[in-house]
Amino acid sequence: MDADTFAQFTDQLKRYVRERLMPAEEQVLEDDAIPPDLLGEMRDMGLFGLTMPEEYGGSGMNVPQYIETIRVLSYALPAYRSITSINLGMVCSALKNAGTEEQKSEWLPRLAAGEIACFGLTEPGSGSDSAAMATTAKRDGGHYVLNGSKRYITNAPHAKLGLIMARTNPESMPKNAHVSAFLVDMETDGITVGKPDKKMGQRGSHIADIYFDDVRVPADALLGGEEGRGFATAMQSLDNGRLSIGAASCGYARRILDTALRYSGERKAFGETIGNFQLIQAMLADSQAELYAAECMLRDAAAKANKGKAIIEAASAKMFASEMCNRVADRCVQIHGGAGYLAEYEAERFYRDSRIYTIYEGTTQILQLVIAKNMLRDFASGAAA
- Catalytic residue ranges: 361
CA distance 195 to 145: 24
Q: What does the buried/exposed string (b/e) look like for 214-241 if buried means 16 or more CB atoms within 10 Å of the residue's CB?
A: ebebeeebbbbeebbbbbbbbebbbbbb
Cα–Cα distance list, 115 to 13, 94, 119 (Å): 21, 16, 14
Burial of 268 (0-12, 13-18, 19+ CB in 10 A): exposed
| CA pair distance 84, 92, nearest whole angstrom | 11
Q: How far apart are CA 343 and CA 359, in angstroms?
A: 23
Of 237, 218, 204, the residue nearest 81 (C-alpha) = 204
Look at residues 261, 332, 260, 320 and name the one whose alpha carbon lies nearest to residue 292.
320
Q: C-alpha distances in angstroms, 21 versus 76, 202, 258?
A: 7, 15, 17
CA–CA separation, 94 vs 220, rounded Å? 15
> Which of 210, 167, 153 shows the shortest CA–CA distance to 187?
210
Q: Residue 159, class by beta-carbon neighbours within 10 Å (0-12 exposed, 13-18 middle, 19+ buried)?
A: buried
* Positive or negative torsion for Cα 117, 164, 312, 130: positive
Q: How far apart are CA 138 and CA 123, in angstroms?
A: 18
Q: How far apart are CA 275 and CA 61, in angstroms?
A: 40
Short-list 208, 240, 232, CA closest to 90: 240
In angstroms, the CA 228 to CA 4 distance is 42
H/E stretch holding 232: helix 230-266
